[in-house]
């Protein structure tokens, strides 16, 4: 764009210079009865050009100013800015190149989730709110957690027809999440529409294969091959659909990172070396995931179910 603008102005100056050189003869202009102005033709043309340019520029600025006022009025009427604005924290934080840990607040009670977030906020880089939290507390819950001051990751794993997923994305747009998830198995059109509806500051990432599934589960859900192959296939599809990145296990993130250099990779299913697996089957340590190229480390129960969540969060932070 800047290149085109430069070419345009170089052409304008060249045409004016050529015209000036070709018409450098004096002319007389009658301004009023008896008042004659002796000048040169190119000077007249340049004066006319500038006289036209100034009002056009003023009109353009006035139109822009009116449009901006209209947007501000609409935002106030729709209450779009009623939430504590996450823009400055969420967007800067989510776009950083450094790996960042998000605490999964998978707790049914809002007060307990808020208390945990306040306790460990100095040791994590963001807060992940999933289905359990969102189904119980909705937009109000997200507003409350946003007051903690960390970026919000809405892990809603949307999976439906493109029109419905795009509508859901529009409905959560006002919450200004830094990251939102959809399921890659919803297909290319669904992912494209989700991304288009999300707004430019929200990263949309696609879940490939849940970390609670392994190779033995693949045939039971109609997938031929390994969980690893399926994660790679769906990562390629997400990239083709124009998403920002994917969610995968620490086992695949290294290989996917090699194929998708500037992708944004969310890795859940993380356990400290001696941690309990629970329902996770493709788990790695937070350090291994980071070293393999994860952009975001998702950590839930190793912190939220620990006897001392702050000590657990600090210990994990110390391994990174
Ligand atoms: O407690 P734990 O650390 O296992 O929590 C992992 C979190 O990451 C959960 O909130 C879960 O919903 C989410 N998640 C996952 N596997 C995926 C995508 C998200 O475990 N593939």
Confidence tier at 40 by pLDDT (50, 70, 90): confident
107 C-alpha to ligand 1 centroid (Å)? 13
Residues 299 and 104 sit within 8 Å (Cβ to Cβ) = yes
Lowest mean pLDDT among 5-14, 159-168, 228-237, 255-264: 5-14
Give the tens place of pLDDT for each residue, 249-295.
999 999 999 999 999 999 999 998 887 899 888 889 999 999 999 99
- Please work out whether the CB of residue 300 comes within 6 Å of at least one atom of ligand 1: yes
Give the tens place of pLDDT for each residue, 85-103.
443 344 343 333 467 999 9
Q: Write the Ramachandran bin of 149: left for phi over 0, alpha for psi from -120 to 50, otherwise beta.
A: left
The highest-confidence range among 24-33, 57-66, 192-201, 227-236, by mean pLDDT, is 227-236
205 C-alpha to ligand 1 centroid (Å)? 14
Mean pLDDT taken over the chain:
85
Residue ID of nearest Cα to ligand 1 atom 18: 210
Residue ranges in 173-252 assigned as alpha helix (H): 188-198, 227-240
DSSP state of 284: B
Q: Which 3 state secondary structure label does DSSP give 15? A: helix
- Please work out whether the CB of residue 124 comes within 6 Å of at least one atom of ligand 1: no
Residue ID of nearest Cα to ligand 1 atom 17: 210
Question: CB atoms < 10 A from the CB of 45, how many?
Answer: 14
DSSP state of 106: -
15, two tokens: 């045409």
- Please work out whether the CB of residue 106 comes within 6 Å of at least one atom of ligand 1: yes
Alpha-carbon distance of 296 to 90, in angstroms, equals 13
The predicted structure's pLDDT at residue 1: 57
Burial 177-208 (b: 16+ CB within 10 A, else e): bbbbbbbbbbeeebbbbbbebbeeebbbbbbb
Q: Which of 189, 201, 143, 185 is nearest to 163 (CA)?
A: 189
216 C-alpha to ligand 1 centroid (Å)? 19
Ligand 1: nearest atom to the Cα of 209: 21
Q: Which 3 state secondary structure label does DSSP give 127? A: strand
Question: Could you give the C-alpha distances from 150 to 14, 124, 181, 277, in angstroms and in order?
Answer: 54, 9, 18, 27
Residues 213 and 281 sit within 8 Å (Cβ to Cβ) = yes
Q: Which residue has the higher pLDDT, 67 or 286?
A: 286
- pLDDT > 70? residue 158: yes
Model-wide pTM > 0.75: no
Alpha-carbon distance of 292 to 100, in angstroms, equals 14
- Helix, strand, coil tally for the chain in percent (to 5): 55, 15, 30
Residue ID of nearest Cα to ligand 1 atom 19: 268
- pLDDT > 80? residue 75: no
Confidence tier at 22 by pLDDT (50, 70, 90): confident
- Please work out whether the CB of residue 210 comes within 6 Å of at least one atom of ligand 1: yes
High-pLDDT (> 90) share of the chain, %: 62
The predicted structure's pLDDT at residue 57: 82
The predicted structure's pLDDT at residue 274: 82
298 C-alpha to ligand 1 centroid (Å)? 7
Give the relative orientation of helices 41-78 and 2-22 as an angle to the nearest 10 degrees: 160
Confidence tier at 68 by pLDDT (50, 70, 90): low
Q: Which of 268, 238, 262, 237 is nearest to 250 (CA)?
A: 268
- pLDDT > 90? residue 140: yes
Identify the CATH homologous superfamily for domain 87-319.
Answer: Aldolase class I (3.20.20.70)
42 C-alpha to ligand 1 centroid (Å)? 72
Residue spans of the domains in the chain: they are: 2-78, 87-319
- pLDDT > 80? residue 81: no
- The residue to mutate among 296, 300, 301, 316, having the most atoms of ligand 1 within 8 angstroms of its beta carbon, is 300
């Amino acid at each position: 764009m800047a290149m085109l603008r430069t070419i345009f102005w170089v052409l304008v100056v060249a045409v004016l210079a050529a015209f000036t050189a070709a018409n450098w003869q004096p002319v007389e202009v009658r301004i009023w009865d008896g008042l004659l102005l002796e000048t040169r033709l190119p000077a007249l043309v340049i004066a006319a050009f500038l006289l036209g340019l100034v009002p056009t520029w003023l009109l353009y600025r006035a139109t822009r100013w009116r449009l901006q006022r209209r947007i501000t009025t609409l935002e106030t009427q729709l209450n779009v800015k009623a939430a504590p604005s996450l823009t400055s924290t969420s967007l800067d934080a989510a776009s950083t190149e450094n790996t960042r840990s998000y605490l999964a607040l998978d707790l049914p009670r809002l007060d307990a989730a808020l208390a945990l977030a306040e306790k460990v906020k100095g040791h994590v880089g963001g807060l992940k709110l999933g289905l359990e939290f969102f189904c119980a507390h909705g937009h109000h819950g997200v507003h409350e957690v946003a007051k903690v001051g960390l970026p919000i990751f809405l892990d809603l794993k949307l999976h439906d027809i493109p029109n419905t997923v795009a509508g859901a994305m529009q409905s959560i747009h006002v919450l200004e999440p830094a990251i939102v998830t959809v399921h890659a198995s919803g297909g290319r059109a669904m992912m494209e529409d989700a991304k288009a509806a999300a707004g430019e500051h929200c990263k949309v990432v696609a879940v490939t294969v849940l970390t609670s599934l392994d190779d033995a589960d693949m045939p039971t859900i109609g997938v031929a091959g390994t969980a690893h192959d399926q994660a790679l296939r769906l990562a390629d599809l997400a990239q083709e659909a124009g998403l920002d990145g994917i969610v995968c296990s620490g086992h695949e993130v290294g290989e996917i990172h090699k194929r998708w250099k500037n992708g944004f990779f969310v890795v859940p299913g993380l356990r400290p070396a001696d941690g309990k697996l629970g329902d996770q089957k493709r788990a790695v340590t937070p350090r291994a995931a980071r070293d393999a190229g994860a952009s975001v480390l998702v950590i839930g129960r190793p912190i939220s179910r620990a006897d001392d969540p702050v000590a657990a969060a600090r210990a994990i932070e110390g391994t990174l």
